[in-house]
Chains A and B, each alone.
Chain A
Amino acid sequence: MEMFLFEMSSLLEQLDEVLLTSEKNQTLTEDSVNEVFRIMHTIKGSAAMMELDLIASVTHKLEDSFFHIRDNGIDQGHFTELFDLMLDATDFLKGQLQAIQDGEELATDSDLIPRTEAFFIVLTGEGKPDAPAQPAPSVPAESAGRAAAEPGGDGAMQFEIWFEDDCGMESLRAFILVTTLNASCNVISYDPPDIESNSETSQFIMENGFVVNLESDLTSTQVREIIESTPYVKTVALVGGEDSPGETAAETEPAAGDISGQKFDVLVRFEDDCGMENLRAFMLVNSLRSSCKIASYLPPDIENNPATADIIKRDGLAISLETPMPTSELQSTIESAMYVKSAALTEIETAPAKPEPPAPTAESAPAAVDTAPAPDQDKAAAVKAPPKPAVAAKAPIKQSLISVSLDKLDKLMDLMGELVITESMVVRSPDLKGLTKMDNFQKAERQLRKLTDELQDMVMSIRMIPIAGTFQKHQRTVRDMCKALSKECELVTMGEETDIDKTIIDGISDPIMHLVRNAMDHGIETPDVRTAAGKPAKGTITLSAQNTGGEILITISDDGKGLDADFLLEKAKKNGILTKPASEYSEKEAFMLLCAPGFSTKEVVTEFSGRGVGMDVVKKNIEKVGGTVTIESKKGYGSSVFLKIPLTLAIVDGMDISVGNGNYTLQITAINESFKATKDQVIVDTDGNEMIVIRGDVYPIVRLHNLYGVPDCITDIEEGIMIWVQSAGASAVLFADKLIGEQQIVVKPLPAYLSRFDIKPYGISGCTILGDGTISLILDVGSIIDMVTEKR
């Protein structure tokens, strides 16, 4: 189930992306239609397997529409309708997935089905007259639709089926029949269409019969046999087409309209431990149906004979098919299916344009398949396996990915940390002191260092995923809000390829969403206001990410009305959250008031933002992943929010300092500078609190040895070292014995056992193991400053 949900959500995201790009360009390329079709098809298949009937039927309808679009194209005029429908459908599917995840009741009906059907009618009604005859559209009402049905072309057939008079539950019988037919044919539509959900169709079927449009490689006689063997079927009539008993599958194939081309024998092997090979095979065959014409496959009874799983495991799955796709594309299509290990393609009737290694078994298709597990075919696959870049450019880019649980990656990261520590323990071992002839050792040491560095980079990069996915989601947000708020706005994204640690991505996704909504709701003005202000009617929100070395800088900026510092101050005053006279606030400080709890500038609460839990939550979430928030704005010209986020949580640059005999580590990013102070720089107030002036500003001095009660350490302010630190706009100067050095540290949480002692507010956020095996405590500058300011 987890796998299913994962797959679904990634498919839906893909779908969203395709749709939004298409909508933006106002074109539907062949690629995107195929992509949507493929996605719909996969979702349908998986949903049907998971017995999620509603999802299956909704996607089925949509697939029908896209099937039509693929063959006949679509009129520009229908775009808006199409995209609204599709986006609503993805919303619906996402909602269903969420419901499954949360274990909620699933919807049993959706208005999407009739909507899609209506749309389908519109589509087919305007289909090009000279288009390859499209089997009957599913017109729910009358037999008008039936008459229009012109079966013909690529093995398409229409059957009228009458059930026995007293069988009862005709709709159910019909449904079973359709299901049965689906196993061997491609059922395009049937009439009445809503047999699954509408029991009244029984009456209709009883009176008018049941009409099925299908497409099949089988001859009409074979299909007829299948239908007749279904229980309670009384008579079957092939409508329009001629019964052609003599016709063989091979003969009909060349006549195929859109699906024709090269014939292939494919031997597919699945991953050793995937299990349920027959089901995988079935799904593969089904998904190939969308782009290829499947002539036959071996073993043939995969869908209902579990024993075939073993056969497939042993001999592989042999498919003979016909497709217009080039070899490499077919290969990658098959190999991109789940659990497929390898696919060996053998071309039959080699096309002159494509020089391929001569097919080892160039006999007729089914015969070659019978001798399936030929080892030389496997070898051929191995040779052909490397993707061919020339063709890959055209094919949709599919990466070969596996999903790994984050736990394992965390574990890997831990091990990596151990390795780094152990390495320095070995290399700096005190036992080595005094040894002189160590050439070999040093050589090996350098090699080891190089390998561990490389390994570390690799391990870190595994956890990194591009932020594109997070950004992409907001295209949708902006689009929807534009419609709802009747504003015009465009979302521009930059630096989507920036890689960020997975844990951090999860942490910043919501805050970004919030900021985009804020920009949309509060920032961007309505078109008339914008035009009046001399700005283009269409606003722009820019989402950008860039890697600035140790940090990721994410910017959300809009060219809206900007922030008004005076207004903010007035508002803050009213809410009683000012901590000093309004006149003393700098512009920057005034903007930061936005992030204060209980501050909301928008007078009217809208659907999208302004529920009072605003920027303070954003700030909190960002700080949770170790980041900071700053706001810049120019009244009338827009505002920008900057999120500074550490690249990864697990390994950071740290500065080791010592106090007494203990070691402490500060994050480099928190340190402004360190310096030696003289006694006369230090000011003492009446309570004995020490302060120091740095470039005209006064900062409190925090003596770490006092704070943590460390004995035996330097207390003379001139002998120790001052470290000026800042966190979230607040600053302080720490006093320690000395700086030890800068190094990369692996952040580890403190043992859970200690959490009961309330250590975190004491400025200890975690610990790290140093090269010599001892532990250094990581100081959290933010909470140290909080603690000190509270105390004073």
Chain B
Amino acid sequence: MEEMQNMAEAQLLETGEEDTMQNKYLVFLLDSQDFAIPIRHVVDIINVQPITRVPNTPEYVKGITNLRGKVIPIVDVLTRFGKQHMEYNERTCIIVVEYKGASVGMIIDSVSEVVGIDSDHISPPPTFSDSAEAKFIQGIGRTENSVRLILDFLAVLEDSMYMTDDSDSEEE
């Protein structure tokens, strides 16, 4: 687990250049399914650490945590999908993504690897799916031997129930 995470992070570092990051995806496991997220949005991968719950927030907002002195909000992706997240274990990870100039952490089961997926190997998500998580899937990416669901992390973080004219009024 540690190694895998280190590997992913090492690859993160190597792929510093914008164009080489273009088609790279971070693959992670969530509820026994492989998901992927464009790596250029990923800032950090950390282990689960103590999270302080903030009152009056929806259940999927787990609270805030201290990431090296920065206070970042944590969202549980599975809870966001409407499923109950099981107990966090030592494999559970937080993927920190950049969202509107700030960092937001997303809890997932574990990270697996970084893969390249060509844009022509990505197909739109099936529209007939009525599963709760369908609206969070941006597309389906195929590699040689497997299929990854590409997570629309913006849809995960943004919630129509709480979206007031969000664009400018981030503060207050």
Contacts and interface: CB of A to CB of B under 8 A. Distances in A.
A755 B171 contact: yes
B163 interface: yes
A754 B69 contact: no
A752 B64 CA distance: 11
Contacts of B155: none
Nearest to A754: B73
Contacts of B58: 757
B50 interface: yes
Nearest to A419: B69
B170 interface: yes
Contact of B57 (A422, A757, A769, A774): A757
Contacts of B54: 750, 754, 757, 759, 764, 777
Contact of A752 (B50, B69, B102): B102
23 contacts: A418-B69, A751-B64, A751-B72, A753-B157, A754-B54, A754-B57, A754-B64, A754-B73, A755-B169, A756-B162, A756-B166, A758-B56, A759-B54, A759-B57, A762-B56, A767-B52, A767-B64, A767-B71, A773-B66, A774-B52, A775-B64, A775-B65, A776-B52
Contact of B50 (A422, A750, A773): A773
A775 B58 CA distance: 19
**Closest A-B pairs by Cβ, 7 of them:** A708-B55, A775-B52, A418-B69, A752-B170, A751-B73, A753-B73, A762-B56
B164 interface: yes
Nearest to B157: A753
Contacts of A709: 55
Contacts of A752: 100, 102, 170-171
Contacts, number: 82
Contacts of B162: 756-757
Contacts of A176: none
A479 interface: no
A452 to B, nearest CB: 15
A662 interface: yes
A760 interface: yes
Contacts of B166: 756
B66 A753 contact: no
Interface in B60-85: 61, 64-66, 69, 71-73
A506 B153 CA distance: 40
A767 B61 CA distance: 16
Interface string A758-783: 11101010010100011111000000
Interface in A48-67: none
A422 B162 CA distance: 35
Contacts of B102: 751-753
Contact of B64 (A663, A750, A756): A750
A417 B169 CA distance: 27
B56 A748 contact: no
Contacts of A707: 55
Which residue among B57, B61, B72, B102 has the maximum number of chain A CB atoms within 10 Å of its CB? Answer: B57
Interface in B129-172: 157, 159, 162-164, 166, 169-172
Contacts of A760: 172
Given A748-B71, A775-B65, A753 B56 contact: no
Interface of B: 49-50, 52-58, 61, 64-66, 69, 71-73, 99-100, 102, 104, 157, 159, 162-164, 166, 169-172
A421 interface: yes
A231 B162 CA distance: 73
A228 B169 CA distance: 66
Nearest to A414: B69
A764 B99 CA distance: 23
Contact of A755 (B72, B99, B170): B170
A422 to B, nearest CB: 8
Nearest to A759: B56
A782 to B, nearest CB: 16
A760 B57 CA distance: 11
A774 B100 CA distance: 25
Contacts of B163: 756
B73 A662 contact: no
Contacts of A774: 50, 52, 66
A750 B70 CA distance: 10
A248 B71 CA distance: 73
Contacts of B55: 707-709, 759, 762, 764
A252 to B, nearest CB: 65
B172 A755 contact: yes
Interface string A733-758: 00000000000000010111111111
A651 to B, nearest CB: 15
A9 to B, nearest CB: 28
Contacts of A756: 159, 162-164, 166
B39 to A, nearest CB: 21
A751 B71 contact: yes
B61 A757 contact: yes
Interface in A418-440: 418, 421-422
Which residue, of B50, B52, B162, B164, has the highest number of chain A Cβ atoms within 10 A? B52
Contacts of A758: 56
Contacts of A775: 50, 52, 64-66, 71
Q: Which of B56, B102, B166, B169 has the most CB of A within 10 A?
A: B56
B120 to A, nearest CB: 34
Contacts of B61: 754, 757
A748 B65 CA distance: 12
B69 A769 contact: yes
A713 to B, nearest CB: 13
A53 B61 CA distance: 59
A342 B30 CA distance: 65
Contacts of B52: 662-663, 767, 774-777
Interface string A399-425: 000000000000000100110011000
A678 B65 CA distance: 37
A769 B99 contact: no
Given A757-B162, A759-B56, A759-B57, 4 more contacts: A417-B69, A756-B159, A764-B55, A775-B71
A182 to B, nearest CB: 50
A417 B171 CA distance: 22
A750 B54 CA distance: 10
Nearest to A768: B71
Contacts of B169: 755
B99 A753 contact: yes
A431 B157 CA distance: 37
A545 B162 CA distance: 44
Contacts of B65: 775
Nearest to A753: B73
Interface in A491-516: none
Chain A CB within 10 A, most for which of B49, B64, B170: B64
Contacts of A759: 54-57
A759 B61 CA distance: 13
Nearest to A769: B66
Contacts of B171: 752, 755
B126 to A, nearest CB: 30
A535 B95 CA distance: 73
A724 B57 CA distance: 27
Contacts of A762: 55-56
A773 B70 CA distance: 11
Interface in A697-752: 707-709, 748, 750-752
B168 to A, nearest CB: 11
A769 B66 CA distance: 7
Contacts of A776: 52
A717 B163 CA distance: 39
A753 B55 CA distance: 14
B69 A421 contact: yes
Nearest to B53: A662
B70 to A, nearest CB: 9
Nearest to B163: A756
A249 B61 CA distance: 81
A773 B66 CA distance: 7
A707 B56 CA distance: 10
B98 to A, nearest CB: 11
